[in-house]
Amino acid sequence: MYSTLDTTVSSLRGQVALVTGASRGIGLETARQLGRLGISVITAARDLAKAELIANELRSEGSSAIPLKLDVTRKDDREATYAYLAERYGRLDILINNAGVWLETDNAAQRVPNQTSSLSLGLLHQIFEVNFFSVVGLTQTLLPLIHKASSARIVNLSSTMGSLALQADPSYPYYSHKIFGYSASKTALNSFTIHLAQELRETRIKVNSVHPGWVRTDMGGADADLDVAEAAQIVVNFATLPDDGPTGGFYFGNQKVPW
Ligand code: NAP
């Protein structure tokens, strides 16, 4: 069982966490829950007004929340994020790579025929830009600050739809729900998790891919299984793993997800 129960809340107090895509959905709720643990949360959103709105909301609940403009696809925003964190904190303890897009249907609940053979390369690029390249770019940019934390955690928001084993398994409940661009982008993200965790294995930085469940958000749709609070708790558990917790894994709750 990997849970914040294993990590004393006092050791989390004063830590600094950056949550991308904190404007709504799982990102917003993850920022809220991290704030409740006494962690200073950077509510990063591509629209600064939204980031400020959320930071104000979390501050009114007693959290330390700081808004930041971050369109993850923009190199200048990623570099400005590094400069801001370096100047203000000199380190980053927790990076939640949450921002993501689902562009092939209205939301994850909508069933459409498999369109792999006709998916436009333009759309595929757009999906990979947010779900994969930006995660790699932001993480690489911030790694010098993450190395400066005494113990750091990187959580990559993945999906069971990115599991190659499940995509190929006819008994997987979503086997017939083939959304190629999104799934492939999360498969690539999982590869990043594996490779980065292996490179950092001798450090105190843990890197994991986490499936938050099928969640009632704009992306998940109204009929999804989990509410955002349940999903964010799963993310927060991996953001606050104890030092003997896992790295380089793919999890849903306490369960390992096959790659
Ligand atoms: P959501 O409600 O659609 O929210 C997506 C978030 O990503 C929004 O805050 C959005 O910001 C942000 N975003 C998109 N493009 C961005 C960019 N270029 N720069 C910065 N932020 C950007 O999605 P969600 O359901 O909360 O999903 C969050 C993560 O969990 C995603 O990575 C998703 O793939 C993953 N996930 C979700 C489910 C599910 O069932 N919901 C299942 C498995 C995995 P704006 O408000 O500015 O658009």
Q: Please write the tens of the pLDDT for every residue from 115-168.
A: 999 999 999 999 999 999 999 999 999 999 999 999 999 999 999 999 999 999
Ligand 1: residue whose CA is nearest its atom 41: 220
Residue-level pLDDT at 8: 58
Q: What percent of the chain has pLDDT over 90?
A: 94
Ligand 1: residue whose CA is nearest its atom 35: 157
Nearest ligand 1 atom to the CA of 27 is 26
Active-site annotation holds for 182: yes
The pair of structure tokens assigned to 53 is 């709105």
7 pLDDT more than 60: no
Q: Report CA(202)–ligand 1 centroid distance (Å).
A: 31
3 pLDDT more than 60: no
Q: Identify the burial level of 78 via C-beta atoms within 10 angstroms of its C-beta, where 0-12 means exposed, 13-18 middle and 19 or more buried.
A: buried
Pick the closest to residue 32 from 41, 13, 7 (CA basis): 41
Active-site annotation holds for 186: yes
What length is written for the chain? 259
5 pLDDT more than 60: no
Alpha carbons 225 and 227: distance in angstroms, whole number: 7
DSSP 70-139: --TT-HHHHHHHHHHHHHHTS--SEEEE------SSSSTT------GGG--HHHHHHHHIIIIIHHHHHH
Taking every pair of Cα atoms in the chain, the longest distance, rounded to a whole number of angstroms, is: 52
Q: Report CA(219)–ligand 1 centroid distance (Å).
A: 7
Ligand 1: residue whose CA is nearest its atom 21: 21
Tokens 């939301």 belong to residue: 107
Pick the closest to residue 156 from 117, 196, 126, 216 (CA basis): 196
Alpha carbons 48 and 46: distance in angstroms, whole number: 6
pLDDT band at 11; cut points 50, 70, 90: confident
pLDDT band at 43; cut points 50, 70, 90: very high
Please give the C-alpha separations between residue 114 and each of 24, 76, 111, 126, in angstroms, as whole numbers: 29, 36, 9, 19
Q: Taking residues 181-192, report their average pLDDT.
A: 98
Alpha carbons 141 and 235: distance in angstroms, whole number: 22
Alpha carbons 168 and 181: distance in angstroms, whole number: 15
Whether 139 and 196 have beta carbons less than 8 Å apart is answered as yes
Task: Go through the domains of the chain in sequence order and give each one's CATH number.
Answer: 4-256 (3.40.50.720)
Average pLDDT, the chain: 95
Pocket of ligand 1 (CB under 6 A): 20-21, 23-27, 45-47, 70-73, 98-101, 108, 130, 157, 159, 211-212, 214-215, 217-220, 224
Q: Report CA(112)–ligand 1 centroid distance (Å).
A: 21
Residue 148 DSSP SS3: coil
Alpha carbons 188 and 180: distance in angstroms, whole number: 12
Q: How many CB atoms lie within 10 A of CB 156?
A: 27
Model pLDDT for residues 68-89, shown as the tens digit of each residue: 999 999 999 999 999 999 999 9
Alpha carbons 86 and 139: distance in angstroms, whole number: 14
Q: Say which of 2, 69, 89, 186 is annotated catalytic.
A: 186
59 pLDDT more than 50: yes
